[in-house]
Amino acid sequence: MRPTAFALVACCLLTACVTPPIPYNWTGYSSSLYALKKNPTDETLAAHKQVLIQIIQDSDGKSMKVPPGIYAEYGYILVKEGKAEEGMKYLDLESQKFPEATVFVQRIKTQLSQSASDAAKPSDNSGSTPEPGSAEKEKTP
Amino acid sequence: MNRCWVLLVLLLLAGTGCVTKVTKQEAFPEMYQQAPLSILVLPPINETTAADAKEYYSTTLAQPLTAMGYYVFPIEVVTEMMKHEGAYDTETLVNAPPEKFKQYFGADAVLFVKITKWDTAYYVIGGHVTVGVDFLLKSTTTGAELWKYNGVLTVSTSPSTAGGGLIGLAIHVVATAINTAVADYMPVARQANAMVISTIPCGKYHPLYGQDQATPVVLQKPAQQ
């Protein structure tokens, strides 16, 4: 992580914005996510989850802040693992800490509950919510 | 420490190259007018032949963007949600009306990232790793281009001392850092990001929000289309 920090600082100097950075706690995030993407197994997923919860637990909100998206990502994984109640808590935390995430969190919840009910009834996942690309047709006058 | 040298070289190049300097306000006026807070980063578009580039690269974006004061939607979750909706490729979304992203995700702006280079070259006396990226941030309210920037970062691995001086030394030090093929990209990608993303005007969570209009940025191509 230190080279990244250095790079950021150096680039900030380059553009003359010498201000203390926002103390987001990204400890371990990009490496564990990278490992997960490179080799998606139960172990790499568990390791990435561990990084997420560690970020949440270690951040006191002052000297270390939970970065945008971490609560949502953790909650999303939990719900997908079937821990719906606990996952929803983290999803709600995301929109509490970052009100601009409200629509997004609502969308996640809708999608997750949809896939839950899709899983309950066997195979019918056609024509539910339109994807952003195709939905244009409805709206374009 | 090795990477510090790479960066030094970069800074030197940035300082001496053929470049245009303007202020952030001049370069990205729409950004100050619209002041987006939340940025939806779409899965990168991969223009290279490296199949893995997009997956790996997407893991390096959130950190520098949030450091500049923006809310960034968790890229992994966004990617999965879009797949769920049948949108696998950002290519197909480039021409989608940007308001859709406002409606669907509540995003103020949407960021398209293109990976233009992702190469390693090894030859007898050395080699290099190159990562190139193009960024385009579009408003989801007006569709206007708020910010765009591109960067290509090449880290040489040639242990040559022909250049002498600082650069020769830097190259030599870097050479020892580079051993395996794939893992080399990530630090280079992170550096390319840091370089490119530092040009974005500071967002609402940044202490310098609304105060960095006069900060100079370097436009690598004087006439950015």
CATH of the domain at B116: 3.40.50.10610
Distance of alpha carbon B26 from its chain centroid, rounded?
20
In this complex, which of B58, B82, B206 lies closest to A131 when CB atoms are compared? Answer: B82
Asked if the structure places residue B43 within a domain, the reply is: yes
Residues in A closer than 8 angstroms to B207, CB to CB, are 19-20, 22
pLDDT more than 90, % of chain A: 55
- Spell out a b/e string for A96-123, using b for 16 or more CB atoms within 10 Å of the CB, else e: ebbebbebbbebbbebbeeeeeeeeeee
pLDDT band at A125; cut points 50, 70, 90: very low
A3-54: per-residue pLDDT in tens? 555 554 454 444 444 566 789 999 999 999 989 988 899 999 999 999 999 9
Contact across the interface for A4 and B55, Cβ inside 8 Å: no
B129-169: per-residue pLDDT in tens? 888 999 999 999 999 999 999 888 887 765 544 444 555 54
Query: What's the pLDDT at A119?
Result: 73
Closest CA to A94 of B77, B108, B84, B82: B77
In this complex, which of A17, A108, A132 lies closest to B77 when CB atoms are compared? Answer: A108
In this complex, which of A21, A100, A132 lies closest to B37 when CB atoms are compared? Answer: A100
3-state helix, strand, coil split of chain B in percent (to 5) is 40, 25, 35
Task: Return residues 1-30 of A near B (CB < 8 Å).
Answer: 3-4, 6-8, 10-12, 14-17, 19-22, 24, 26, 29-30
The question of ipTM being above 0.85 is answered as no
Q: Is A30 left (phi over 0), alpha (psi -120 to 50) or beta?
A: alpha
Closest CA to B70 of B216, B218, B209: B209
pLDDT at B86 over 80: yes
Q: Which two tokens stand for residue B27?
A: 């370069």
Query: What's the pLDDT at A106?
Result: 96
The answer to whether residue B52 neighbours chain A at the CB level (below 8 Å) is yes
Task: Return residues 95-124 of B near A (CB < 8 Å).
Answer: 96-97, 99-101, 104-108
Contact across the interface for B38 and A26, Cβ inside 8 Å: no
The answer to whether residue B86 neighbours chain A at the CB level (below 8 Å) is yes
pLDDT band at B54; cut points 50, 70, 90: confident
Write the burial class of residue A89 (CB in 10 Å: 0-12 exposed, 13-18 middle, 19+ buried): middle
Element (H, E) at A4: helix A2-14
Cα gap B197→B67, rounded to integer Å: 9
Query: What's the pLDDT at A17?
Result: 46
Radius of gyration of chain A (CA): 19
In this complex, which of B62, B93, B205 lies closest to A22 when CB atoms are compared? Answer: B205
Distance of alpha carbon B76 from its chain centroid, rounded?
18
Is the separation of the CB atoms in A90 and A63 below 8 Å?
no
Query: What's the pLDDT at B221?
Result: 53
The answer to whether residue B19 neighbours chain A at the CB level (below 8 Å) is no
Q: What is the pLDDT averaged over residues A90-110?
A: 96
pLDDT at B36 over 70: yes
pLDDT at A1 over 50: no
Mutate to test the interface with B, among A37, A51, A55, A128 (most CBs of B within 10 A): A37
Query: What's the pLDDT at B5?
Result: 53
- Chain B nearest-CA distance from A78, in A, is 12
Quote the DSSP letter at residue B224: -
Asked if the structure places residue B47 within a domain, the reply is: yes
Residues in B closer than 8 angstroms to A4, CB to CB, are 63, 190, 194
Residue A81: other Cβ atoms inside 10 A: 12
* Full-model pTM: 0.77
Least confident of A21-25, A34-38, A92-96, A122-126: A122-126
The answer to whether residue A115 neighbours chain B at the CB level (below 8 Å) is yes
Count of the separate structural domains present in chain B = 1
pLDDT at B179 over 50: no
Is the separation of the CB atoms in B16 and B5 below 8 Å?
no
Q: Which residue segment(s) compose the domain that B42 sits in?
A: 24-152+180-201
Question: DSSP readout, B101-136?
Answer: HHHHH--SEEEEEEEEEEEEEEETTEEEEEEEEEEE
